[in-house]
Amino acid sequence: MVGLHEKGYRVSLDDFGSGYSSLKALSPMIFDEIKFDRAFLKTDITKKEATLLLQLIKLVKSLNTAVVCEGVETAENVALLDQSQCDIFQGYFYHKPFPIEELESVYLSQQAAPSL
């Protein structure tokens, strides 16, 4: 992966925090972006879990790495992530997944919608 990065390719680590991913995986690798798994933002997140998520985001940002949080589904999720340095919030709170063919119409409909 280092070779790809040196050739100018961006390298992302997806689903961090699920399966076999660990903090140890971060040390020898060069990632441009780390995508936190949706499991971090479950609906009944405890104060300890929220603190852990915020500290992990802070750690990743200290490595000059972009952070994406997947699974943003509620206003509470947004409020929590607003306290962090998360670069991109991704989830149903903003829009459900859709085919690429619908991108233009979805974009245009959101541009025409009045802001709150």
pLDDT tens digit string along 1-21?
777 778 888 888 888 887 766
Chain position carrying tokens 């100018």: 8
Q: What is the mean pLDDT of residues 26-42?
A: 83
Domain count, the chain: 1
Task: Report the C-alpha gap between 18 and 65 in whole angstroms.
Answer: 19
Neighbours of 29 (CB within 10 A): 13
Is the model's pLDDT at 101 over the cut of 60?
Answer: yes
Nearest by Cα to 36 from 82, 91, 99, 98: 91
80: containing domain: 2-112
pTM: 0.81
Residue 27 reports pLDDT greater than 70: no
Rounded Cα distance, 57 and 80, in Å: 12
Nearest to 13 by CA among 30, 77, 5: 30
Q: What's the Cα-to-Cα distance from 108 to each of 39, 75, 104, 112, 113, rounded to whole Å? A: 31, 24, 6, 6, 9
pLDDT higher than threshold 80 for residue 32? yes
Q: What is the pLDDT of residue 115?
A: 58
Per-residue pLDDT tens digits for 55-95: 999 999 998 999 999 999 999 999 999 999 999 999 999 88
> Rounded to whole angstroms, how far apart are CA atoms 107 and 104?
5
* pLDDT at site 85: 94
pLDDT of 7 reads 87
Q: What is the CATH number of the domain that holds 67?
A: 3.20.20.450
What's residue 10's pLDDT? Answer: 86
